[in-house]
Each structure stands twice: as C-alpha cells, then as structure tokens.
Structure 1
Amino acid sequence: MRGGTKLLAVSLMAGALAWPLAAQLQVPGVPVRVPPVGGVLGEVNGQLEQTVEQASALTGREARRLLQLRERTLGRLLRANPQAIERDAVGNLARRGELLATGLAEPGFAVLEQAGFRVLAREQIEGLDIAFARIAVPAGMTLAEGQGRVAELVPEAEVEADTLHLEAGGQMAPRPLPLAAMAAAATAAASNVKVGVIDGGIGKAVPVSGLRGFAAGAPRASDHGSAVASLLQAQGITRLWVADVYGSDPAGGNASAIAKAVGWLTASGCKVVTVSLVGPRSALVERAITAAQGKGVVVVAAVGNDGPAAPPAFPASYADVLAITGVDRKGRALIEAGRALHLDYAAPGAGVFARDATGKIKAWRGTSFAAPLAAARVAAALGSAGAWRARVDAEARDLGPRGADKTYGRGLLCGSCAQRK
C-alpha cells in the first residue's frame, strides 16, 4: 500500500475506532464533532472499511502515529466537556473532582474531612459485598493533586480516580439494510442462560428481561448498546439484562458505574456478562469482577481498537476475563485491534450487521461487536452438558500459527454468525 493510503487508514481508525472517540471522520470537507462521552460513537463512513481492508499491517511508526492521534482526540474530548471530566494523576480521563476510596475506616474519613475533602456518598455494590466511598476534591485542587494528597493523609486506603471507559467500535453503513442482512445461529442452549450487557441503553426493538441505569439520564437508548444487545438476541439469547452506564452523563462509563453494573447483573442471576468498553485499570472494577467470577459469572470483554502498540485494555486484561479480538470478513485480524495482557478468542468484528437505537439494521466495525458474538457461544456452552471451556475451545477454529497465539487467541468463534446473507 502506498504511504498516503496507509496514513489515511491510520487517521480514520484513530478518529473513529479508537476508544477516545470522534463521531465524524476528519477528512477534507468534513468537520469533526466531539460528542459527550455518553453519546453516540459511531456514524463511521463506509470509506473506512474499504480503506482499512486494503491495509495488511501496521508498521511501528504507523502504530505510534495512531496513538498520537488518539491522544489528540482525547484532548478534544476533554476540551469539549471541561465541566464534567479531567485527567487523573497518570493522564487518564476521569470524572471531574471525584475520587473513589475502598478500605477506608471511620478515622480516615475524619482525617479527609478535616483536610477539606467531602464525602459525597458511601455505597455498597449490590450482590458483591463491596463498599466504597465517593469523595469530592476541595475547590481549587486538581484531581491529580487530590489523589496525591489523599495518599499522604490515608495511605492505608485504596484511592483512585473514577476513570472513564469508552466504546470499542462504531457504525460503518450510513443507510439501513434489509432484515435479511442479519443471520442468526440461535440455539436452545443459549436461550437457557441469563446474559448481561454493560454498555449504553438499548432501543425498543430488542426485548430485554431487565434494564437499569447507572448514570445520569439512564437508561437512555444508544446505537452502540443496541447493536451489542441485538447481536446477542440474534444468536438466541432471550434472557438478556442490560446495564446502561452512560445515559446522558458526559462522564458516563466511569469505573464506579461499571462496578455497580457488575454487581446488579450478578445479583440478577446473569452467568455471562459482556463488556464492549475500554479504559484504564481500576481497582474497584477489578474487585467487582473478581467477586462476580467467584459467584460463577463469566466476563467477556473486547480488547479495544487502539492498535497493537496501545496500553493493555481493561476490563479485558483482568485475570480470567475472556479477552476477545476481532477479525474481518476474510478472517484477518483487524489492524486496529488493541491488545490485552492475555488473549482468549477472536470473533467477527467487521461486516457485522446489527440494530441501531431505532431498530434499523446497519453494519458495524470494531472489537465491540466481536465480544457479544463470543459471549453468545460461551452462553451456549454453559447451557449444555459438560465443561463449558472445553466446549468453547473445541468450537474455536484455529487461525494463524498452529495453536493459541497472540493474534487470534485460541481461535475464531461464531465465524458466520453476523454475516450478510
């Protein structure tokens, strides 16, 4: 591929597919609009799929360029929502002026309040027996400064910023497609298992057994959440619970919302929880996921779309979470696919057809849409006799080097699940 075309591909991916979002591509004559974090991530021009499918690999230089473009997009997002988000001590985007604390005893609360910090709420995560507190940073103090000060005052506590997680994919097709475009691989086994989704809200076209909001204005229908849920429905998942962690909150998708969503889905009896969001490591989210896993919940998560040079994606990188990457229609790894500390499986992540918030069938691209397809196969295995992991491994089609590898994990699941008929 010629250099100009490669550069265009990288620019498109960074602007539209990386977890720091841009709702429109920055191409000549087309403006860039940066919506709130909880807004629609997609509206990706069909030119993107055509361009990136021409690329075979990212060189080190191009991967670094993708990360640079991602950082610029993060900056635009921050400037668009200064009242709601700011950077934490290590540069991650987080809810402005608030910290999360676990393991803080009563004397510690008194020390913080004497230093000007204010306890906003003490919360318990439903179903997981995890307590944490939301603490406001004093006026005039940045979030990063607050983190450092709290660490000095109460070193025994675990304190972190309420970091943001963003969606890992977007819409490809600008026009609706016929219903025949979505192929189902429904199984009775999958329909017996309760499956949970942590994402944005969903449209009325996808029936659910439970829906709860964990952000201001939630539940609120979103295209991304609707696409994820409709993919599960198309694969025979009829017992579906959805936790909306975005709503209309500019700081939606934060760690505390995700941790509470994990608890609610666990308490609701979900045995599989799929997450198509990407963010930095969070002690609170990790603790919630570990507790849910201890109750028999299998968590499935997308590796994101920041490219192979990106930092490890979370929650995909937490221990025992099934990390899912995406492949295109020819079984090639998505060149924008991110990475995790481990990789379990691949699933279709391009040319995937699903519903938007209005119920229209559209095409989508990103590891966001590979995760629910893999989750459906895990649910089917859980609903069948025998060890579920062995059943999933037996179903996975080996790609790349023989055996498990760092590009496809243990193989491709649901290879033809969401292809156009």
Structure 2
Amino acid sequence: MWQQSNRHSPPGILLALLVGLQPCNAAEMGAIPSNQIQSQPLFQVRSETLVVETPIITGVSQSICAKPGDSVQIIGNHFPPHGTAGVALGGNSQHLDVVTKSWSTTQITIVLPLSGLQAGKRYYVGLEKPDHSRWLSNISQSVMICSDAVTGVSRSAVFQGRMQIQPRQGSSGFASSGNDAPSVPPQTEGTVPPGTMQPGGNQPFRPSGGTLIGAGLPSPPQAPAMTADIQERGIEPGELLILSADMQEALQIAQQLATSGLRPIRRQRLVGLGLVITAFRLPKDDRVAQRLQQLRDSLPTLWGEANHRYQLLGSAAGTEEPAYEQIAWRSETGCGSGLRLGMIDAAVAPDHAALVGQSVIRHSFLSAGISAAPAEHGTAIAIQLVGSNRGEYLGLLPEATLYVAEVFRATTAGRTETTAEWVIHALDWLVQQQVHVINLSLGGPRNLLLEKVLERVMATGTLVVAAAGNQGPKAPPVYPAAQQGVVAVTAIDQARRLYSQANQGDYIDFAAPGVDLRLPRLDGSPVYRSGTSFAAPFVTALLAYSQYAGEASVSGGVEALKQHTIDLGVPGKDTQFGWGLIQATGICSGR
C-alpha cells in the first residue's frame, strides 16, 4: 500500500514558505526523531516521507479446489489502490488475467476465467503491474483447479500437454533499470536468442517476470553431508553458489556476506526460471564445507551450496546391440517433426556426417578461456536422438529440433567435468526454448540449488530424463537422476541383463538398451559404447513422441510409459530395473 506520513508540518509552514525558504535536496530530506522536535527552529519545514509498502499475499480463501467462474478471495496486506495493479494467475506455462469483484487494502475478490484453465493443475496468484512487466507481490500462494471441472480448454489450444503462450504486449520478463538488466551469455554458433521462433514449434516462451517459488524462497531442506572425497575432488575450490528469488534479494545478500569476506565474482538472472544465481569467492585458506556450514547455521533460509562437479556417464565397450528391436521402436518418414528436444552434455560436432542437415542448435555455457571437453560423448547422444535417416546411424527422432547446451570442460588432469552453475544456466536456456523433454546423460552429488532449479523446470511442464549412474550396485544415488520427479534410466544388454556398472536404488524408473551400442566416432568409424548415458535417450525420445502424438499428457506421460514395459527382475518396480524395459506402442511418423 502506498502511504504518506501522517506527521503534519508546524502551523507556521505557510509563513516559512512565503519568506523564501530554500528548497531542500530530496536526498537530504528525512524524518525528524521525536526526541529532537523541541530543539528544531519554529518555522523549519519537516519532510513528508512517501512510504511504499510491498503488497503481500498471505492466503487464498477457497475450498479444496475451485472451478472456472468461481469467486476466490485473496487475503493480505498493503494492496495498492484499485486500478494501479492487476491480478493474474501463472504456472503451467500460462499467464492468465482475472476479473476483480471487490478490492481493499487487505482483501481482493477475483473471478476465475471461464476458459484457459487446465483441470487438476495448481496456479500461483499475484499482483502485477498493469502492463504485465513485473510482479508487484509475492506469488507463493496458489489456487487448485478441480480435476473434473474444466471444459474451456480446447484441443486446438493445447500442444504437447501445455498451453501455447501468446506474446503479451509490453511484457519484458523482468522490469529492469539502470545497470540491473538481465545478463545474456555470449551467443555461439547456432544459438537462438530467447523468444525466437523455430520451425515446427510453439510460440516463444515468455517468462512472466516472477518465480513459481515466490518472492522469498522457502527454507531449503536439510543439506546432505559433504564427504571427504567430494571436498577433495567433487567441487570447485574456493567458490559458493547462492540462489535468490530476484535481483534485489541477490544484492542484499551480497552486502550481508561482504562483512564475512565473501566476494561476488559472477551473477546472472535466470530469465526463463525467474531466479538469480550468484557465485562467491571465499577468502584465502577458507574451506568450502566449513564456510557453508557456518552460513547455514547463521542464515538457515539462505539457499547456498558448493559448486559441485558432474561427470558424463558413458564408456566404450564390445558387441552390436539391436536396440530398436528391444524397445519395439519403428519409424517412418517425418518421425519427430515439430518436436523440440533439449540435452545438456559435452560439445557436439555439427559437421559430423550423421548430423549434417539436421536441426541442431548449440549454445556453449563455458566461461571464456575454458577448454571444451572432447565432442565424442555429446555427438554420440545427439546422433542417438536426431541422427539423419539418410545415413548409417539412424536417430530416434530424426525430424526433431535438438537444442544442445554444451557445459563440459577438459581439465589439465585429463578429466571431463562440468559444474552445477553451468548446468543451472543451461536449464534456464532450455526452458526459454520451450523444449518438451530434457536429456541429462550426466551425474554427480546432490546439490540443493540444482534441485530447486529442476523443480522449477518441471513445474513448467518440461519432462527431465537422467542417466541413473555407472558407479556400481553399492554406490550411493546419483543426482539429478535420484531427484523426485526426474525420470531415472538404467541400462541393460541384449539378453536383458542389467549393466554390470549400473547404480541401483529405489529411484530407478525404467530400463533401456545401453550396453554395446554401435555408435560413430567423430571420424565416422564405429565404436561400441556402454553406460546409462546411452540408455537415457531412448526414454527421452519415447516420452517426447508419446506427448506429441497425443498418446499422453505431460503429467501422464510417465504413467502411460509404466503401462507399456516388460517387467524385469522381481515383479513390479524394483531397485535394478525400475518398472522394466520400455516399449513403444506405435509407429513414429510425421504429422
């Protein structure tokens, strides 16, 4: 609410103005403490302070769920005057304006739209500027739509289980001023700026300017213990990552941490996710684990984490594997047309014979001066997904568009690795490209910031598929595959036996071919590769196409896949094969 101070100027204010008091500089104006009033000159003008209170939504009054056309009360404080702000619903890749019935500083009654809402979905609610340029309030409160109440969403308005997002006049994502503008990574060959239309796709993704998490992130979960091995080799030395709800919060945190000697070295808006990530440099001789624990003890609501390292999950191996036959995959001309796939991996060689002429859009997220990892792994995954149907190595969805986020570096010690920070930037970019499924053939330790960002990614309706890990049956869970909501894929051989190096655990969802797959080297010669890395693309392709063909919605894609598997191991879901070996239910063709 906008309020003006109720302090009144002395009775002689008019006389003081008439005798020509000099106007004071706005920067020098300030309220006078009450204990100093008697000592002030009789005719001094006391400043009028304009106090701007941030609107806060504390609750939404509804039953278990609401239907289109229902009235819903929004409860809170400091709501601005009617006409200076609007109310909107967001989430599920939608942004819907609502009509208001009544408006006060503490309560607003809205009417839910009669069309456009998706059944069984939850929408966050917030106050926004009339031009839709930014949220004015928190958006941590939500409205649940009844699962059997929505009739206003036509089939023509839905594409792959998500609403098409129409460009909004005046929408800029984030309102920026001064130097507080969104930071855009340098574009590389084939990079498509956010919002650019691509053939066979949806409308460009337009962030609403807020975050599903709300203004002020909730308190983070309990952090996992950092083992000695991770402290030694599994993190970026001398760095901490902080996730913030917005730029103002990020700047405030930086000021607070500066007193402890932490210095921000990189900061960037995650435009597609409505968050801000900042990397801090620790003082010399500080230990990451110790400083992180100190911060968590003193600031329990702070989203801070080490900058963990992640590895690729594939290797070379032995004999040919008829993988397509194992999952009953058949394709015709046009298979994958109109689909948008995302992958986060090592570099891809665009001039490889199996990728020439294919729709592959690349973006490198490596910092300047960092050596990119060899392109063997990334190129192999890309060929599995969209390899040309004119050559020897046929891709699963050859007519799809593939967005490649290149994040892996080559270290001087000969390792191939990436960081949580780069993966987060890559996820943000892929959300802006509005891909249907993201393939993650990588793994490492749990990272709270990456976990929260993936929650935000999946909340947009984007499916995330990850390799289950190659550390063996007694190894701890590998992330992000072990995160709830991420589809974890293990590998089997031609005899439907589990890959000997595969991780095991209750987080495993599905099995797919991933042992002795015949794939090309960079020079085109064949090599046989094994690993959960190479099993994940089969599930990525199957989930993407099942949604595109209308066989399953975004939310029902995984459930539908469970119904078409060959159960392996003990009956039902198990820690080795998950629900079993995936099976295609039809012929992949053009539309």
| TM-score, length basis structure 2 | 0.51
Helix, strand or coil for the counterpart of 2:363? strand
In structure 2, do the counterparts of structure 1 residues 340 and 134 end up closer, same or farther at CA, with 3 Å as the change threshold?
Answer: farther
Matches within 5 A, 1:14-413: 87-88=230-231, 93-103=234-244, 106-152=251-297, 154-172=299-317, 185-186=330-331, 188=334, 190-203=336-349, 204-205=351-352, 206=355, 207-216=358-367, 217=370, 221-233=374-386, 234-237=395-398, 238-248=400-410, 252-387=417-552, 388-413=557-582
Distance 2:475 2:425 in 1: 27
Q: Distance in 1 between matches of 2:499 and 2:365?
A: 31
| Conservation of the 8 A alpha-carbon contact between 2:468 and 2:488 | yes
Pick the structure with more strand per residue. 2
- 1:165 match: secondary structure: strand
Cα distance in 2 between the residues matched to 1:227 and 1:94: 27
Amino acid at match of 2:292: Q
Q: Which residue of 2 is the match for residue 56 of structure 1?
A: none
SS of the residue aligned with 1:135? Answer: strand
**SS of aligned partner of 2:301:** coil
Would you tell me which structure has more helix in proportion to its own residues? 1
Rg comparison, structure with higher value: 2
Question: What secondary structure does 1:253 align onto?
Answer: strand
The structure-2 alpha-carbon separation of the partners of 1:386 and 1:336, relative to structure 1 and needing over 3 Å to count, comes to same
Q: Give 3-state SS (helix, strand or coil) of 1:192's partner.
A: coil
Q: 1:394 to 1:259 in 2, by over 3 A?
A: same
Amino acid at match of 2:579: R
**Structure 1 position 351, deviation (Å):** 1.4
Per mean C-alpha deviation after superposition, the further-off stretch among 337-346 and 152-161 is: 152-161
Letter in 2 for 1:235: L
TM-score, structure 1 normalization: 0.70
State the superposition RMSD in angstroms: 2.8
Which stretch has the larger CA shift, 403-412 or 264-273? 403-412
Cα distance, 1:414 vs. partner? 5.8
Residues 315 and 530 in structure 2, CA contact (< 8 A), matched pair in contact too: yes
Percent pairwise identity: 27
| Structure 2 Cα separation of the partners of residues 278 and 340 of structure 1 | 15
Task: Write the distance in 2 (CA, Å) between the matches of 1:324 and 1:392.
Answer: 13
Q: Looking at both structures, which has the greater relative contact order when contacts are Cα pairs under 8 Å and sequence separation is at least 6?
A: 1
- Measure, in 1, the Cα distance between the counterparts of 2:376 and 2:505: 25
Q: CA deviation at 1:367?
A: 0.7
More displaced, 289-298 or 97-106? 97-106
Q: Is the 8 A contact 2:364 2:405 kept in 1?
A: yes
Deviations 1:16-56 (A, max 9, x none): xxxxxxxxxxxxxxxxxxxxxxxxxxxxxxxxxxxxxxxxx
Gaps of 5+ in 1: 1-70, 76-86, 416-421
Displacement of 1:200: 0.3
AA of the residue aligned to 2:424: A
